[in-house]
A and B are shown apart, each in its own frame.
Chain A
Amino acid sequence: MMEKMIFGRYVPAESILHRMDPRSKLIIVFLFVCVVFLANNLWTYAILTIYTFLMAGLSKIPPRFLIGGLKPVLWLVLFTFFLHLFLTKEGELIFELGWLKIYEGGLRQGIFISMRFFLLILVTSLLTLTTTPIEITDGLEHLMGPLKRLKFPVHELALMMSISLRFIPTLMQETDKIMKAQTARGVEYTSGPVKDRLKAIVPLLIPLFISSFKRAEELAVAMEARGYRGGEGRTKYRQLHWAAADTLMILLLAAVTVLLILFRG
């Protein structure tokens, strides 16, 4: 039922983006989120868009799948667009129909902001699409390493993250299974009045909660049985390797940043 969702999903493929070090990908995404706000005119947005599409191309994720998966967010993007279109009252009046007034500033704002939104979503999705959850947490643990000196529980946090990421698909499967079981007992999840559909959530959530608690307990026991005692003295099975491509990719983003600063109005 949630088959088309692409958030938090990893698509295996052979591409530069897949092979990159998760640390460099995380740094790039973090920087990109900041850099996006530098764009404020046609040229700068064009540069950002080209960069994003280049990255999407490099990822070798089928474009049809990428676009299909982004569809649910597209509504949010459109909503932002119309919000700005109707509510910003700047510049020349370009369209009027009764109470509906559209200003030039509104149109610009609408396009730019929704574009910004779209690019952000695309780039962050590319991160999760090309990096396994376990790599992401490894990368984060490394990047947050210095915080350990401040007694920040980096390892525990990374572990919590990887556990929750690990169980997302399991939870989805479980949701699907229980949904089907209740559907077979006459619950309607996909049609019928909203009130009934809201009510239908109870027979779904309670079983989910119960099985999640059970699973958490089982996992804790299994970990203890295998001698888990926290991060102290634990060695790593997966080693991270920083390659030339990683440095290059960061330099590419730096170049884009310089261009943005030069061209921004």
Chain B
Amino acid sequence: MDISLKNVEYRYQNNTPFERLAISDVSINIESGQYLAIIGHTGSGKSTVLQHLNALLKPTKGTVWIGNREIRAGRKEKNLKEVRQKVGIVFQFPEHQLFEETVEKDICFGPQNFGVSEEEAKRRAKEAIKQVGLHEEILSKSPFDLSGGQMRRVAIAGVLAMEPECIVLDEPTAGLDPRGRKEIMDLFYRLHRENHVATVLVTHSMEDAARYADEIVIMHKGRVQKKGTPYEIFSVPEDLLELGLDVPEVVRFQLKLEKAFNVKFGKICLTAEELTDAVADYLRGGTPK
């Protein structure tokens, strides 16, 4: 299932004195099975774009295609449930949405809203809780007795249990410790690799964008500033720095290294492993790749 935004504009509180243009002329294409990262400053319109991906917001201009469903500005839309089942959103601080008595009921809430039977929902709950790295015993506990990190995982499990074709993540690791961060990011990456779930990651972290994404979109002041693969994006660090954005540590290190020793590795390395190999090759006297 592809999702595409065509010349989308969105104004908050349209036609009031509080009217505010959030995004304009945004065109993005998300193919099925793709991993796309959206990066940009706070207030650059990332979150607004994200809410268009399952019709939580309807564009004030332009069109959004979600699979073969068209959502066009100025038209009343009904029966959006189908769309919402296909595109699961993990909001920022998703633990705020927990409300049921037990973890199991909370995870089953989403699937059951989409007409999944109780047994099937429970089966999915069991699977989802394992996917997020928690014990099955937790299913019978109250979500409010858990730690913050566990609550986050339960909330994520609630979205996974809907079995969406596309997962949209809005800073899913905000406020987690480094280990929890890595675990959560790896979990989504595994899902993406193994089940070919299309993934959209909205993030501040250049490291995450560089490590996981096939394609990166940079938002700036409500517009798409740049699009490309991580290599394309990070090989011109000047552009990013000009927007006040950072490049991944690894890239920064490589650039400093190249300058200090007056060498060129020929390509931008996005992970520590890649850079190690490049440096090792160079030290062995081989031609840098």
B282 at the interface (CB under 8 A from A): no
Task: Name B84's contact: one of A4, A178, A183, A210 (CB within 8 Å).
Answer: A183
B161 shortest CB reach to chain A, Å: 10
Q: Flag A186-198 by CB within 8 Å of B: 1 or 0 each.
A: 1110010000000
Is the CB–CB distance between A3 and B13 below 8 Å?
Answer: yes
Task: Name A186's contact: one of B16, B17, B81, B99 (CB within 8 Å).
Answer: B81
CA distance A33 to B17 in the complex (A): 28
B113 at the interface (CB under 8 A from A): yes
Chain B residue nearest to A187 in the complex (CB): B113
Is the CB–CB distance between A186 and B56 below 8 Å?
Answer: no
Range of interface residues on A (Cβ < 8 Å): 20 to 34
CA distance A181 to B109 in the complex (A): 12
B34 shortest CB reach to chain A, Å: 20
Is the CB–CB distance between B144 and A210 below 8 Å?
Answer: yes
A182 at the interface (CB under 8 A from B): yes
Most buried by B among A3, A180, A184, A191: A184
Interface residues of chain B: helix, strand, loop or mixed (majority): mixed
Is the CB–CB distance between B89 and A65 below 8 Å?
Answer: no
Q: Which residues of A contact B13 (CB under 8 A)?
A: 3
Chain B residue nearest to A64 in the complex (CB): B15
Is the CB–CB distance between A181 and B97 below 8 Å?
Answer: yes
A72 at the interface (CB under 8 A from B): no
CA distance A11 to B19 in the complex (A): 12
Asked whether A11 and B113 contact (CB < 8 A) given A185-B159, A186-B85, the answer is no
Q: Flag B81-106 by CB within 8 Å of A: 1 or 0 each.
A: 10011001101001011110000000
A145 at the interface (CB under 8 A from B): no
Is the CB–CB distance between A180 and B91 below 8 Å?
Answer: yes
B110 at the interface (CB under 8 A from A): yes
B60 shortest CB reach to chain A, Å: 12
A262 at the interface (CB under 8 A from B): no
Is the CB–CB distance between B162 and A177 below 8 Å?
Answer: no
B32 at the interface (CB under 8 A from A): no
Q: Flag A39-69 by CB within 8 Å of B: 1 or 0 each.
A: 0000000000000000000000110110010
Count, A-B residue pairs, CB within 8 A = 65
Asked whether A202 and B99 contact (CB < 8 A) given A177-B91, A186-B113, the answer is yes
Chain B residue nearest to A211 in the complex (CB): B96
Is the CB–CB distance between A178 and B110 below 8 Å?
Answer: no
Chain B residue nearest to A180 in the complex (CB): B56
B158 at the interface (CB under 8 A from A): yes
B51 at the interface (CB under 8 A from A): yes
Q: Which residues of B contact A4 (CB under 8 A)?
A: 16
A206 at the interface (CB under 8 A from B): yes
Q: Which residues of A contact B78 (CB under 8 A)?
A: 191
Asked whether A183 and B56 contact (CB < 8 A) given A3-B16, A65-B16, A203-B109, the answer is yes
Partner-B contacts on A (CB < 8 A) = 3-4, 11, 61-62, 64-65, 68, 174, 177-178, 180-188, 191, 202-203, 206-207, 210-211
24 contacts between A and B (CB under 8 A): A3-B18, A62-B17, A64-B15, A68-B15, A174-B96, A177-B91, A177-B96, A180-B51, A180-B56, A180-B91, A181-B94, A181-B96, A181-B97, A184-B84, A184-B89, A184-B91, A186-B81, A186-B85, A186-B162, A188-B81, A191-B78, A203-B97, A206-B99, A207-B98
Not counting A181-B89, A183-B84, A188-B81, a sample of 20 additional A-B residue pairs whose C-beta atoms are within 8 angstroms of each other reads A61-B17, A65-B16, A68-B15, A177-B96, A178-B96, A181-B97, A183-B56, A184-B54, A184-B91, A184-B159, A185-B97, A185-B109, A185-B158, A185-B162, A186-B81, A186-B84, A186-B85, A207-B96, A207-B99, A211-B96
